[in-house]
Amino acid sequence: MSDDKKDLGDKAREAFDEAKESAKKAAEEAKETAGEFKEEAKKTAEEFREGLKTAGGDNKKILAGILAILFGTLGIHKFILGYNKEGVILLGVTLLGYATTCIGVGFLFFWLPGLIGLIEGIIYLTKSDEEFYNTYQVGKKPWF
């Protein structure tokens, strides 16, 4: 009986040693994967910074903001940012305002897009460059 117990003890030690080696290998692989992930994250962050510099985030922000304040009724700032559908909506509402001025409703159609342009222009100009880029060029948020 004592030989059986001894064999079981040896088997248990062998299983423990194997589990220990497997755990070491898994830990090494996890460290390698974490290192690769860390390097990839750094690379992605650097690409984002470079993209922000080359995208002209500051120039588009200032241009879109000033155009929104001055010509917000025509939706030019929307076209500058690549929001063609929203630009056409503002332009269409303004043209509808021109067409319906004689019945008095047209003044509302002039006032509303102008107010939207003024508000958006102020919002554009008060945001930081990164926040503007993330919100309106990457995130594609078309209104306010």
In a domain, 143, yes or no: no
In a domain, 89, yes or no: yes
pLDDT in tens, the chain (144 residues): 455 555 667 777 787 778 778 778 877 887 787 777 777 767 776 776 666 555 554 468 888 999 999 988 888 999 988 889 998 999 898 888 888 888 877 777 778 888 989 999 999 999 888 888 888 877 777 776
In a domain, 64, yes or no: yes
Nearest to 73, CA basis, from 123, 116, 105: 116
Looking at the structure, tell me whether residues 38 and 70 fall in a common domain.
Answer: no
What's the total number of domains in the chain? Answer: 2
The verdict on pTM exceeding 0.85 is no
Question: 43 lies in which domain range?
Answer: 1-54
Q: Three-class SS string for 83-137?
A: CHHHHHHHHHHHHHHHHCHHHCCHHHHHHHHHHHHHHHHHHHHHCCHHHHHHHHH
Looking at the structure, tell me whether residues 73 and 30 fall in a common domain.
Answer: no
Looking at the structure, tell me whether residues 8 and 49 fall in a common domain.
Answer: yes
In a domain, 77, yes or no: yes
Phi-psi region of 60 (alpha: psi -120 to 50; beta: other; left: phi over 0): alpha
Nearest to 70, CA basis, from 108, 110, 114: 114
